[in-house]
Structure 1
Amino acid sequence: MSGESKAVERETLLGYLDSQRKHVLGILDGLGEGDLRKAVLPSGWSPRDLVHHLTWSEVLWFRGAMAADRQVIDTLVAGEFGWKVPEEFSGADVLARYRQTIEQSNRVIGATAIDAVLAWWPTKMFGSGSWRLGSLREVLMHVIVDTATHAGQLDAVRELIDGRQWLVNDDRPAADH
C-alpha cells in the first residue's frame, strides 16, 4: 500500500471515530448535571462515568500506547484510570475533558503512520498474553468499536431519561427531523 493510500486509510478510520465521538456528545447534549450523574441501567454507571471511561480509553491508547507519553504511562501504571470519576468533577468538566482529549488524540493520530507499532503496551491492565493490538490501525479500530458500543448504551440511557432518540443513519437527534 502506498504512503498516500495509508494516509487515506488513517483519515477514513479517524472519520469513523469522529462520527462515534460526535454521537456520544450529541446524545448527551442538553442533559443537566443530575441526569449526567444518574445511573438508569442495572450496571450502575452514569453518563458522566461512561464519558470519563471513554476519555481514559483515548488517553490509554493514543497518548499512552501509541505516543508513549511518560506522564500518561506513569498515571496508568499507578492505577488512576477507568470508571471512577472524582466527585468534584461535574458533568460539564467530564465532557470538556473528553473534548480536550479528543483533540490530543487527533494530534497523535495525525502524526502517526497507520501501520506504526505501539510504543508501549499496558501490561498491568492487559497482561502479556495473546491479545495485543499491533498498530495504529488496530488501535483505531478498537477505539471505534469501544466508542460505538458505549454510544449505543448512552442512546438507551437517554431514551430512558427523557425519550430522546438518536438517528444513527444521519448523526442527528430524532427531534431534528
Structure 2
Amino acid sequence: MARMIFQLRVALDGVEPVVWRRVLVPGGFTLDRLHRVVQFAMGWRDRHLHVFDVDGVQYGVPDPDGLLEVRDELDVRLDAVAGKGVRLRYTYDFGDWWEHEISVEDVVPADPDTRYPMCIAGERACPPDDVGGPGGYREFLAAYGDPGHPDHAAMRAWLGREFDPAAFDPEPASTLLRRMT
C-alpha cells in the first residue's frame, strides 16, 4: 500500500483576517509530529503546552501530576484518528489560548520524488508568542502599526524585530519542516 499524504488546512481562530496554512503531512505521523508541523508552519516557537481534540478525545503530552487528562500523542497516528473531511482542534498556549481548526482537505498517495512534510500555501503572519491571545493581538496590531499610539514604542521594543502582519512565505516554513524529518 502506498504511503498516504494528508493535505491539511490549519486556521487560527479569533483573528481577522484569518491566519492559515496548508500543509502536506504523512498519515503515519504521530500527533506529536503533527504538533511540530503546526508549530513550524504557523510560526509559533513551541514554548507552551498544547492539546489536540479529536471527537471529544484529548491528546497531548501526559501530565505527570495528572492535572491534565490527555492520551499520549506519541501513541496516536494521524491516519488512525482522521480521514478526509475530518476536523481536529489544536489548542496552543493555555494562557493565550490559541485555538486552531485543522481540516483534512484530502488524502492522496505520496509522490515518491517529494519530501514530506511541506507547507504549500498560507496567508498572513502568525501572531507573536505571548502577545495575549486574539484580544491581545488586536491591541498589539493597533499599537504596533500606529506611530501615534501611546503604546507604539513599547510594543516595538517588546517584540524586538520588524513585523508585517500581512506577510507569509511558505518556503521558509517548508525548509523548517524538512529539517524535522
Range into which the TM-score falls when normalised by the shorter chain: under 0.3
Which structure shows the higher helix fraction? 1
Which structure shows the higher strand fraction? 2
TM-score between both structures, scaled by the size of structure 2 = 0.27
